[in-house]
């Protein structure tokens, strides 16, 4: 006798445990996990819920037919619990194949998730700042002098300045 296989609460690792007699369900599960890229949901999240809510919420995973969404504060979790249906419809509009997978949205308060996220963003900003050359630095002056000699034949001052900046940026990256 064949037992019915449910895809709810199903992880990609569970695919190996499916018996060969359930090959149709196994094919359905493989098809879902091969076609749905959770990163695409993360990327479109600001468009689905708006920029302000995207800063304080983030989808985490799909588990037991529910989309788990992290929020920064319990008040967001509480308020958004009243707006599950419009959020689901926005998700289904963008990802119609999730209509059979997601039946509910659960909000979990996880301030540490957003604290860690802000630390990562700050470190990325710092890294960008460190990669820029200060106009008074010796390296910037040296590259600027080389670029000025290379582009001295250009008469338009705006175009010359732009070419010098491009040269400095490309030389700095190398």
DSSP annotation string for 54-70: HHHEEEEEEETTEEEEE
What is 36-113's CATH topology?
A: GMP Synthetase; Chain A, domain 3 (3.30.300)
CATH 3.30.300.180 range(s) for the chain read 36-113
Q: What is the pLDDT of residues 38-55, one digit of tens each?
A: 788 888 899 999 888 888
Of 24, 29, 98, 31, which Cα lies nearest the Cα of 59? 98
**Cα(45)–Cα(134) distance, rounded to whole angstroms?**
36
Q: What is the pLDDT of residues 93-141, one digit of tens each?
A: 988 888 888 889 999 998 888 777 767 777 777 776 666 777 787 888 8
């Amino acid at each position: 006798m064949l037992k019915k296989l449910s895809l709810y609460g199903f992880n990609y690792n569970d695919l190996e445990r499916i018996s060969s007699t359930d090959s149709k369900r196994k094919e359905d599960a493989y098809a879902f996990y091969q076609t749905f890229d959770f990163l695409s949901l993360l990327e479109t999240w600001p468009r689905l819920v708006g920029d302000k809510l995207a800063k304080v919420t983030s989808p985490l995973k799909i588990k037991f037919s529910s989309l788990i969404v992290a929020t920064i504060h319990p008040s967001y979790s509480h308020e958004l619990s009243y707006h599950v249906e419009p959020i689901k419809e926005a998700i289904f509009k963008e990802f119609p194949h999730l209509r059979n997978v997601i039946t509910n949205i659960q909000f979990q308060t996880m301030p540490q998730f957003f604290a860690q996220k802000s630390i990562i963003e700050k470190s990325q900003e710092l890294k960008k700042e460190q990669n820029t050359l200060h106009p008074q630095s010796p390296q910037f002056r040296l590259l600027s002098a080389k670029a000025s000699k290379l582009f001295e034949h250009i008469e338009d001052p705006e175009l010359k300045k732009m070419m010098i900046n491009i040269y400095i940026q490309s030389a700095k990256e190398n």
